[in-house]
Amino acid sequence: MRPSSRRYLKTVVISTGAFVLFGIVTGLIPNPLYIRQVPRTPLDYLFLTTTAAFFGVYTFQRTNNQRNDEKTATAGTVVGFLAFGCPICNAFLLALFSSSALMTYFDPLRPLLGIVSVVFFAGLLYSRSQSTCDACGMEEQGSQTH
């Protein structure tokens, strides 16, 4: 069974929305509301793009069948956000640590966090693609009758 075009559209909208939202919030997309304190790097854009894309594909694969993988998806998103976000602009991290500690210890770890995020999402998407889902076939049949 082929997924409906509605699911493809939903995937594109969610991926694009995540890219724009995360890009604006982290200052990777220049905007007047937020000024990024740390220079943008190509890795920041790479991890922003992969996190948004994986988030969209995750929603594409998501079914009504209850699975316990939301925690992995949430962890992948949060770790990805930390990987491309500005370390000294994050109020939560800044409240826990000083800006000099963040730039000294956390900033060099951001590429590693990006890789961890990609591994979380890739593993999750791979395991979802390999599992059989009885509800998936029924969901597809139901969406084709509408």
pLDDT tens digits along 101-116: 888 888 899 999 999 9
pLDDT in tens, 75-101: 899 999 989 988 887 777 888 888 888
List, for residues 14-71, the tens digit of each pLDDT value: 999 999 999 998 889 998 888 888 889 999 999 999 999 998 988 888 766 656 778 8
113 contacts 97 by C-beta, under 8 angstroms: no
Q: Is the dihedral of CA 72, 74, 78, 81 positive or negative?
A: positive
Burial of 5 (0-12, 13-18, 19+ CB in 10 A): exposed
DSSP states along 35-49: --SS---HHHHHHHH
